[in-house]
Amino acid sequence: MENDYVSAVQLYAKRMTDAVERYVVPALPSRRGDDLGGQWERDGWYTALEQAFLDALAAATGSEESMRAVITLFADRVNAFNAGQFHKILRAAYGVDVFKSEPALGPISTVWEAENLRLIKSIPTQYVEGLQSKVVAAVQRGETVASLTKQVRESYDVPKKRAELIARDQIGKLNGQLTEYRQRNVGVDEYRWRGVLDARERDEHVGREGDKFRWDSPPADGNPGQPIRCRCWAEPVLPNLDDLDALIVH
C-alpha cells in the first residue's frame, strides 16, 4: 500500500520531468564566445527560458480532481488497513469483537487529504523553481548546451525522491494518527513503543523499544509514526475488557 502510494505520487513527479524534457531542454540557450556582447542580451534568452519553464509547469500540473481522487483512495485504504489491524489486536487479546463509533475519522482524513494535496502540488513548483535558478546561473557562467542539458537531466531524480519521501512519510503519519485515535477512542491511554528494528530505524527509537508512553504525553518528537519517515507503531497497553469504553460483542 505504501509502495503503491509512492508510485502514484511519483507519477506527478514524472509528469513534471517529462514536461521539462519536452519544453525546457529544447529551449536551453547556447552561449558562445562570439555571442558575448549586445547580441546575447537582445536574443532574449532569459525570457525564452522562463517561458519554457512556465509551459512545462502548465503541461505537468493538470486538474486537481484526479489527484484528489487518488489521495482519497489511499486515505480509505490506510483507514481500512488500520481498522483491520486494530480489531485483530483486540480479538487476539480479548477473544471478542469490539465496536465504537468513530466520529473523528472524517475530520482526520479531511485534514490529511488537504495536506497531501498541498504537498503533492508543491513537488513540481518547488522543483522547477530550483531548477530554473540553477539553469540561469549556469547560462550566465557560459556553460555549453551539452553541459546544461546534462545538468537538467541529472535533476530528474530530485522530484522523484521528494515524491517518495512525501508518500512514505504521509502514509506513516496517517496510520499513526488513526492508531492513536482508535486506541484513545476505546479508552486506551498508554502504548508500548514498537519499531521495525532494522538499520534504518533511528537509534533514539530503537532505544525506546518496549517502553511505555501515555498518548497524551508523547516523546519530544511525537507519538509513533509522527516523526518524519518514522515506521514505528504503538502497541496498545490494554485495560481489562470491562474497562474498555466500547460495545463488546461476545
Which span sits near Zn ion by CB under 5 A: 29-37, 86-94, 161-169, 202-210?
A: 202-210
- Residue 9 CB, shortest distance to Zn ion, in Å, is 21
Q: Which of 205, 208, 223, 244 binds Zn ion (CB under 5 A)?
A: 205
CA distance 99 to 87: 9
Site for Zn ion in 226-245 (CB under 5 A): 230, 232
Residue closer to Zn ion by CB (options 158, 206) is 206
User: DSSP string spanning 131-200?
Assistant: HHHHHHHHHHTT--HHHHHHHHHHTTHHHHHHHHHHHHHHHHHHHHHHHHHHHHHTT--EEEEE---STT
CA distance 45 to 41: 7
Which span sits near Zn ion by CB under 5 A: 24-32, 70-78, 176-184, 197-205?
A: 197-205
Residue closer to Zn ion by CB (options 15, 194) is 194
- Residue 206 CB, shortest distance to Zn ion, in Å, is 8
Residue closer to Zn ion by CB (options 68, 192) is 192
Give yes or no for a contact between 229 and 175, defined as CB atoms under 8 angstroms apart: no
Which span sits near Zn ion by CB under 5 A: 35-43, 139-147, 168-176, 223-231?
A: 223-231
Give yes or no for a contact between 229 and 165, defined as CB atoms under 8 angstroms apart: yes
Which span sits near Zn ion by CB under 5 A: 54-62, 154-162, 169-177, 224-232?
A: 224-232
- Residue 67 CB, shortest distance to Zn ion, in Å, is 28
User: DSSP string spanning 55-118?
Assistant: HHHHHH---HHHHHHHHHHHHHHHHHHHHHHHHHHHHHHHSSEEE---TTHHHHHHHHHHHHHH
| Residue the block writes with cell 483491520 | 84
- Residue 183 CB, shortest distance to Zn ion, in Å, is 17
Residue closer to Zn ion by CB (options 28, 232) is 232
Q: Which residues bind Zn ion (CB under 5 A)?
A: 205, 230, 232
